[in-house]
Amino acid sequence: MIVLVCRCGKRIRAPGAVPGRVGRCPDCGERLVVPSEPTVPAERERPEPTRKRRAQGLEHSGASLGSSYHLNPTTESRGNESPEDDAPRPQRASYLERKTAGPIKEGLLPPLKSPETSAFASLLYPLRGADCIGILAAMSVVLWIFMVLVPEYCLTAMGDAKKMNASLIGALFAILAAIPGVILGPIALAFWLQYLGRVLVSSAMGETLPPRAPNRNAQGLLQGLAPWLVWLVMGFGVGILPALWIGPRPGWSPSERAIDIVVLFLFATAYMAPALMLSFLHDEPLAATPIGVVVAWFKLGVQIPRICLIVAGLIATAAVPTAITASLREHHIWIYLLLALFCLLVVLWALVALMRVLGLCYHHRASKLNWHSADPRWGESWRL
């Protein structure tokens, strides 16, 4: 375990940190760089306040567990700097920006030297990081329990109670079984949305490895939900309006209904995808307006149909095994339960691949889109 120690006394655990990796201290916001070799803290002549003495004690105790790097702010120039650059910066998340791919052997596949350009290669993206594989496996099991096992148990209990003329007892068992899902479900959803946002942002930065898992505390789970709330209102809410306004009309033939569904799907996808990118990757928090999406259409050009086709392919990849699994529920319940876990894994995998495609779409066209200044503030805590 490598321990990074800032000069303010903050200790940051950074598994797999390599020389040259840069980031920011979550306490003081200083820009930090990992040196080539560990350094030993100098002896202090005067006693310091209790807080600093405790920090030093933690630093010395951490040396027995792993290498401690005492980091100082980098002196590299970022262009025309003003005196405002020395002002205190807002608290930032402990998100390390990997400028170079280090010899990290965590995933099942080796890291790439440069970001991929094909959607098929993005499907293999989760296999390049152990954190991503672990999160996909854990979230699949959690959703499987809350969305498949618990509902099936509740339905079975209610059915058996109804046969014994004890419907009230069956409903009580169902309520008790659903309570853990009601409490833990929102927490799992917030964690999953946090990670999807990290995948999108790290892909837009051009990183080839999946990001680390979000902080599993109250602040870490809530600080990255703002872009999702913006997209839910200004992206999903506006993109779904045509479908709610038109809707299926009586007297339509199956062919007319199918054409209408395809048109509505393409329009919704073409609107929601750029709105999601604007919500996370633009300097303005409320940039995902209809005007902003239309401007993004002209700048992205042929990438909009490509994104629509990729989304359609990912949905088909997840929908086909899901439909087959659902057809087995009535006669082969145990096979259905096992295949449901696989289907959830496929759905979550497709979502990570989609975030990767959207992030790389921005990365390869950042200069043309021009959504951020020279120093984008994506590392702030509320964005990650």
DSSP letters of 107-161? SSSPPPSS---SHHHHHTGGGG-HHHHHHHHHHHHHHHIIIIIHHHHHHHHHHHH
Whether residue 194 has pLDDT greater than 70: yes
Whether residue 384 has pLDDT greater than 80: no
Could you tell me which residue, 101 or 20, shows the higher pLDDT?
20
What are 256's strand-pairing partners?
Answer: none
Residue 60 banded pLDDT, cuts 50, 70, 90:
very low
d(CA 6, CA 163): 66
**pLDDT tens column, 266-288:** 888 889 999 999 998 888 878 88
CB half-sphere exposure, 113, CA atoms < 13 A: 0
What are 70's strand-pairing partners?
Answer: 5
**pLDDT tens column, 311-332:** 888 888 888 888 999 898 888 8
DSSP letters of 286-323? T--SHHHHHHHHHHHTTHHHHHHHHHHHHHHHHHHHHH
Residue 49 banded pLDDT, cuts 50, 70, 90:
very low
pLDDT confidence of residue 207: 86
d(CA 145, CA 137): 13
pLDDT confidence of residue 82: 45
Averaged pLDDT score across all residues of the chain: 75
Whether residue 64 has pLDDT greater than 50: no
d(CA 250, CA 243): 15
Q: In this structure, what is the dihedral angle of CA atoms 115, 121, 123, 127, given to the nearest 10 degrees? A: -70
User: What are the structure tokens assigned to 275, written together?
Assistant: 């709105």
Radius of gyration over alpha carbons of the chain, in Å?
25
d(CA 69, CA 46): 23
Q: Please state the φ and ψ torsions of residue 5, each to the nearest 5 degrees.
A: -115, 115
d(CA 30, CA 70): 13
d(CA 55, CA 12): 12
Instruction: Give the residue extent of every domain in the chain.
Output: 3-79, 119-369
Could you tell me which residue, 175 or 77, shows the higher pLDDT?
175
Mean pLDDT on 233-251: 73
The rounded percent of the chain whose pLDDT value lies above 70 is 68
The SS3 assignment for 22 reads strand
The rounded percent of the chain whose pLDDT value lies above 90 is 17
d(CA 234, CA 272): 9
Residue 53 banded pLDDT, cuts 50, 70, 90:
very low
pLDDT confidence of residue 274: 92
Mean pLDDT on 171-200: 86
Could you tell me which residue, 96 or 203, shows the higher pLDDT?
203
Residue 256 banded pLDDT, cuts 50, 70, 90:
low
Amino acid at 47: P
Chain centroid to Cα 343, Å, comes to 20
pLDDT confidence of residue 282: 86
